[in-house]
Amino acid sequence: MKARIAEVFDSVQGEGLYLGERQVFVRFFGCNLSCSFCDTKLNRFLEYEPDELFREIKLYPDDFHSVSFTGGEPLLQHEFLRDIIKLNKKHGLKNYLETNGTLYQQLEDVIDDIDIVAMDVKLPSSSGMGQLWGMHYRFLKIASQKETFIKAIISEETVSEDLKAALALIREVNRSCILVLQPNSLQPQERLKTKLDDFSALCLRERVTACVIPQMHKVMGVK
């Protein structure tokens, strides 16, 4: 079975709780969402068999933390993903899944061989994607079998009701899940500061562990 892969490269993780870890990145082509802040416009891909991709991953110096499956949305090609993460596990590599947190049935198919889930929660007022809470709820339930943290983009447009809904989701499904607030890197950072301060205070009041971590790969100018 072949998958459409936009690129394979090594770099440092630019966001979330594993910021700064060296990883091999596998960027899948295609996404089921179209967020207003999306900066991943992919128009080219190569087709890979799982063993071809594994051989390419192994070309990199083997001192990396994990293989990051990113996109696009990797779970759109979950059958291929299942095969490549099995190969990685068999050879002692860690699998890190970056996902928009919606394709929960596909997640079920791969969760056994995933080590870390970096899951987006799409706040409707930030993403322009409408309500995805039902999908996020089911997704987080399955993801919580493994180490999972959540990322949410905070924009000038983000309303506190949406953040409250994300906090309720975390409280109900997985209280130990850490929420990473990511200022929208396409907007002036100084204008987001007050909102981020208010939102951090709200997380504290709601007893959900949260931190603000910018998308550093954009700041550093790395992939």
Instruction: Give the position of tokens 């996109």.
Output: 71
Binding part of the chain for ligand SF4, among 3-11, 35-43, 162-170, 191-199 by CB under 6 A, reads 35-43
Phi, psi for residue 126 in degrees, rounded to 5? -90, -40
Query: Which of 23, 88, 95, 100 lies at the binding interface for ligand SF4 (CB under 6 A)?
Result: 100
Check binding of 178 to ligand SF4 (CB under 6 A): no
Q: How far is the CB of 31 from ligand SF4 (least distance, A)?
A: 3
Question: 43 Cβ partners below 8 Å, 6+ apart?
Answer: none
Query: Which of 20, 40, 131, 222 lies at the binding interface for ligand SF4 (CB under 6 A)?
Result: 40
CA atoms within a 13 Å half-sphere pointing along the CA-CB vector of 26: 30
Query: Which of 50, 72, 74, 214 lies at the binding interface for ligand SF4 (CB under 6 A)?
Result: 72
15 vs 218: CA distance, rounded Å:
10
Check binding of 135 to ligand SF4 (CB under 6 A): no
Amino acid at site 129:
M
Q: How far is the CB of 86 from ligand SF4 (least distance, A)?
A: 24
Check binding of 165 to ligand SF4 (CB under 6 A): no
3-state secondary structure of 67: strand
Check binding of 15 to ligand SF4 (CB under 6 A): no
Q: Which is nearer to ligand SF4, 6 or 173 (CB)?
A: 6
Instruction: Give the position of tokens 């929208």.
Output: 184
Q: Which residues pair with 69 in a beta bridge?
A: 26, 97
Q: Which is nearer to ligand SF4, 23 or 100 (CB)?
A: 100
215 vs 119: CA distance, rounded Å:
15
Judged by the rule CB under 6 A, the positions of this chain that interact with ligand SF4 are: 31, 33-35, 38, 40, 71-73, 100
